[in-house]
Chain A
Amino acid sequence: MANTKDGAVENARKDLAHRLNIDAGQIKERSVEESDFPDMALGAPEDDEMSGQMITRGWRIQLEAQGKTFEYRADKNQLRAYKFKGKNYRV
């Protein structure tokens, strides 16, 4: 999967809608900014996951729903939900 910024935001929105069991139209895009993440799991490793310790350029995506802010992290290779209810998920 070769992500683009817009593609990553779209997939993050779909994933959040699924996790919250709401319509994607109820999710607002709060911000999308380029960011350097500390490792190749974008600083959001799942349990039992080892990642390369190289600074990795990607996008920090902030979405808003149900009065809360949810963060996703993406680069050209992957999309991750960051600390969704305390846990990280590869999407």
Chain B
Amino acid sequence: MNRNNFFIHVALALVLILVAAFAGQLSKWRKEWKGNVGIMPHAEKKQPATTEEIALTENRNFGRPEVLVKFKSGVSNETIERLTASLHDRVEDRIESAEGLEAIDDLDNADAASIVAEYSKLPEVEYAEPNFEIQLDAAEGPLVPVFPRDPQFEDQWALANSGQKGGKQGADISATLAWAKTTGSDKVVVAVLDTGVDYSHEDLAANMWMRPDNLPPYHDNELGTIDDENGYNAIDGTQDPMDDNGHGTHCAGIIGAEGENDVGIAGVNWKVQIMPLKFMNSSGFGSTKDAIEAINYAIERKKAGVNVRIISASWGSTQKSQALGEVIRKAYENDILFVAAAGNATTNNDRTPHYPSSYDVPNVISVAALDRNDQLASFSNYGPKSVAIGAPGVDILSTWLDNEYEEKSGTSMATPVVAGVAALVVANNPRISVDDLRKRLMDSTDPIVALKGKTVTGGRINAAKALE
């Protein structure tokens, strides 16, 4: 070997050593990263996943925090640190959107059940639960629930019921798991047929439908041309669907209050387009004729290319109108789902029908209301043959007039929950037909004892299941 060859061989050996060392470090980093995936801090917002299957498996200590512990209101961070240290644990993450909720890592690697038992005994603790691992299919890695940073989210028990205010933990629509898959799409238009919507509300303005520049103003043979820039008002046939009651604004917020905007609440959809159709007045009632006019408007806009996929109808009466039934069927023929309130008269809709929810039209899905303990709301109508599904509808926090937020109750509030889930499904599967969309919702429930024999499905809508 001459002198030049010697130096070349030495240089090659050094390069090989460096490559091997770097590869080893990469492997180590990868293992550490995989092991530490758990509750997602807000600063590291996870993008919604796109795969098909969600599976839940119990935590078996994968190196991520073993338990989630909710400390009682008023327990200081110092006390929490002291308590966890005394149990030879550490606070791995603090969930800012839920006061007192901590992800705890056990330094002894004990099993989750025994750690939960330890914390559950402490007087400072409201509840403790295992940090379940949520997985996509084997190739995709774990899927974690997504919590928005909207400041009033912790009061939205319908979306994430942690047992707040005496509720039953888990009695919710599994929104945080659904959001790991999609938080909605601004390509999906949901028509809110109601008292109008306060389209200037701070938590709604970004998600309001506006007539696109390339779409001509609405033309009605009787009313003439209407500049429907913000939607449609069927009461006086004008362009202004501004809410003067609050009910429609509340329903709109449930469907699509802007998420992750540091303001107010999160809707079932963080992004969506809400099309306000006003047919009820400032007192909250309206005529069948105006309802028909507004539905007809939505259909015409669909025909003109607006992607109206869902109408949310939080209203009704026991009066049957053949004309209303026919226009809803026309909506079906135009691939529009019609989600309707079952009514609040505590009656059986099989015997005393409530319209429009009782129309026997394939796109109608009738919604009963549940409380935060998975009980049928004391006021809710039901019907083992005619009411499709249950959804949260008691003490529901949502948007109100003048940038306010209020808690309201009624099948009015349960209806937009289901309409919102329908919009998530469409966001995830834009080509889904109205028949398949309705079936998907009907097949995506958690069985609820209180609904057995009271609704067709006997279950509460589950948004995560609807996206599987």
* Residues of A in contact with B (beta carbons under 8 Å apart): 38-41, 43, 45, 47-56, 77-78
Contacts and interface: CB of A to CB of B under 8 A. Distances in A.
B319 A54 contact: no
A77 B283 CA distance: 6
Contacts of A50: 279-280, 285-288, 291, 315-317
A41 B283 CA distance: 8
Given A50-B315, A53-B343, 5 more contacts: A38-B345, A53-B314, A53-B415, A54-B250, A55-B344
Contacts of A51: 280, 284-286, 315-317
A25 B285 CA distance: 33
A5 to B, nearest CB: 17
Interface of B: 194-195, 245, 247, 250, 279-280, 282-289, 291, 314-317, 319, 321, 341-346, 379, 408-413, 415
Contacts of B379: 38, 55
B196 to A, nearest CB: 12
Contact of A54 (B247, B321, B345, B346): B247
Contacts of B286: 49-51
B247 A52 contact: yes
A47 B321 CA distance: 11
Contacts of A43: 345
B295 to A, nearest CB: 12
B414 to A, nearest CB: 9
A48 B292 CA distance: 12
B410 A41 contact: no
A38 B284 CA distance: 12
A47 B320 CA distance: 10
**Which A-B residue pairs are the 4 nearest by beta carbons?**
A40-B284, A54-B410, A38-B344, A53-B341
A78 B247 CA distance: 15
Chain A CB count within 10 A is highest, among B247, B283, B346, B411, for B283
B280 A53 contact: no
Contacts, number: 93
A53 B412 CA distance: 5
Contact of A77 (B282, B319, B344, B409): B282
Chain A CB count within 10 A is highest, among B247, B291, B317, for B317
Contacts of B250: 54
B287 A52 contact: no
A48 B319 contact: yes
Contact of B412 (A47, A48, A52, A77): A52
Contacts of B195: 52
12 contacts: A40-B285, A49-B287, A50-B280, A50-B285, A50-B287, A50-B317, A51-B285, A53-B343, A54-B250, A55-B379, A77-B283, A78-B283
Nearest to B342: A53
A41 B280 CA distance: 11
A9 B195 CA distance: 27
A54 B288 CA distance: 18
Nearest to B408: A54
Nearest to B409: A55
Contacts of A40: 245, 247, 280, 283-285
A54 B287 contact: no
Nearest to B283: A77
B285 to A, nearest CB: 4
B431 to A, nearest CB: 32
Contact of B413 (A38, A48, A54, A56): A54
Given A38-B379, A48-B319, A77-B283, A53 B288 contact: no
A39 B409 CA distance: 10
Contact of A52 (B194, B319, B345, B346): B194
B317 A54 contact: no
B158 to A, nearest CB: 15
B129 to A, nearest CB: 32
Contacts of A47: 319
Given A54-B408, A55-B408, A41 B284 contact: yes
A54 B285 contact: no
Contacts of A48: 287-289, 319, 321
Given A50-B315, A50-B316, A55-B410, A39 B344 contact: yes
A52 B409 contact: no
B276 to A, nearest CB: 14
Contacts of A39: 284, 343-344, 410
Chain A CB count within 10 A is highest, among B194, B341, B412, for B412
Nearest to A37: B344
Contact of A45 (B245, B247, B317): B317
Chain B CB count within 10 A is highest, among A40, A47, A77, for A40
Nearest to B318: A45
A49 B412 contact: no
A53 B411 contact: yes
A24 B421 CA distance: 53
Contacts of B409: 54-55
